[in-house]
Amino acid sequence: MFLITLAIFALPVNADTADELPVLKVGVLQFGTINWEMDTIVHHGLDSANGFSLEVHNFASKNASAVALQSGAVDIILSDLFWVSRQRSQGKAYVLMPTTKASGGVYTRADKSIAQLLRNTNQSIGVAGGAVDKNWLLLQAYAKHNKMDLSAHLSPKFGAPPLLNRFMLADELDAIINFWHYNARLEAAGYRLALSVMTMLTELNISSDVPLLGWVFAQDWAAREPDLVKSFMHASMAAKQRLVTDAGEWERIRGLTKAESEQVFMILKEQYPQTLLSQFGADEIAATKALFDIFADIGGHALMGQVDVFEPNIYWSEAEKVWQTKP
């Protein structure tokens, strides 16, 4: 059983035509940063401008949104490549339209370096995404590549993002891997990015952005509704573009960010573009394949399902074309 709160927004369209627009149902986390984008789409009528009516369903957890997609309660959710991989290994043909790249990394106190962290023993690291968190797996791959015994230095503590931040601020953790908007709170409190995802990827000979997160939907549904899917992707990209380029838009959504201070708000605004893909094509697919191979070795079946080899058709067949026409 899952909790669902439905928000149907008033759209700036003519009453005579509103009922004619196809409805697209999107499932998102109730307090996720994706709500900034959903609000931007609705506020500016980017859904009706692209020929559809957006229905946003808010969920309390990723599992709840996944169940909603699987049951047909929503058409699209935000998830990651590896969830899609596990579903496909079970014969469920979901595909990913990539939107977000691997980012963030390991945060520590300002006076502690990653070298110190990996040199000392009995150190603790908070990990928000669980045992198969992508940045935690990436850190393990980085350590293995550099012939380090990570377990001899770091003991992972898994927990909810806000709880781990509280532990970090109370000096009860030596390092942390958290979601980017929680990292912004740490930066505002004087903590720093000691080892970035970019540095780890480069060390592992991956030079392009890795598109791990995006819009997920059923392949057969997309085949039946190709125009509707493309319309949503265009609206999604246009909303992101507004948030990247329009400072006034951030003032409008300030309340949605729940920033505790002006400093946190400015860091969120500055870092948001750094989480987004800027392009998607052959280089990004090759980078994904390389990381997929690394994670298959580190994360095993718990992360990958029964799939051992990367298949590019895990991405939506129209993804590259849509990226070529982004605003």
For the stretch 123-132, pLDDT in tens is 999 999 888 8
The 10s digit of each residue's pLDDT in 274-321 is: 999 999 999 999 999 999 888 888 877 777 777 777 888 999 999 999
What's the distance, CA 116 to chain centroid? Answer: 29
Closest by CA to 295, choosing from 148, 133, 176, 181, is 133
Q: How far apart (Å, rounded) are the C-alpha atoms in residues 137 and 17?
A: 49
The two tokens of residue 37 are 């984008």
Strands of the 123-127 sheet, one edge to the other: 154-158, 123-127, 175-177, 105-108, 192-196
- The predicted pLDDT at position 10 comes to 35
Q: Which of 210, 221, 232 is nearest to 94 (CA)?
A: 221
pLDDT at residue 326 tops 80 = no
Tell whether the model's pLDDT for residue 5 goes beyond 70: no
Q: 24-58: per-residue pLDDT in tens? A: 999 999 989 999 999 999 999 999 999 999 999 99
Q: Residue 19 has what pLDDT?
A: 64
> What is the pLDDT confidence band of residue 18, given thresholds at 50, 70 and 90?
low
* CA–CA distances in Å: residue 154 to residues 174, 175, 237, 318: 9, 9, 39, 42
- The confidence band for 3, taking pLDDT boundaries of 50, 70 and 90, is very low
Sign of CA dihedral 293, 229, 67, 60: positive
DSSP character at residue 315: B
**Angle, helix 180-188 to helix 161-169, in steps of 10 degrees:** 20
Contacts of 166 (CB under 8 A, 6+ apart): none
CA gap 116, 125 in Å, rounded? 13
Q: Per-residue pLDDT for 184 more than 50?
A: yes
List of domains in the chain: 4-101+211-269+277-324 (3.40.190.10), 105-203 (3.40.190.10)
Report the relative pairing of strands 23-29 and 76-80 from DSSP bridges. parallel
**What beta strand segments (E) does the chain contain?**
4-8, 23-29, 53-59, 76-80, 94-101, 105-108, 123-127, 154-158, 175-177, 192-196, 211-218
Cα–Cα distance measured from residue 143 to residue 156, given in angstroms and rounded to the nearest whole number: 14
* Buried b / exposed e along 122-157 (16+ C-beta atoms within 10 A): ebebbbbbeebbbbbbbbbbbbeeeebebeebbebb
**Is the pLDDT higher at 105 or at 311?**
105
Residue 306: predicted pLDDT: 75
pLDDT of residue 13: 41
pLDDT at 262 over 80: yes
Cα atoms found within 13 Å of the Cα of residue 61, Cβ hemisphere only: 8
**Residue 233: per-residue pLDDT:** 98
pLDDT mean across residues, the chain:
90
pTM for this structure?
0.89
| C-alpha distance across the termini of the chain, in Å | 39
What was the pLDDT predicted at 46?
98
Residue 73: pLDDT above 70? yes
Q: Is 235 helix (H, G, I), strand (E, B) or coil?
A: helix
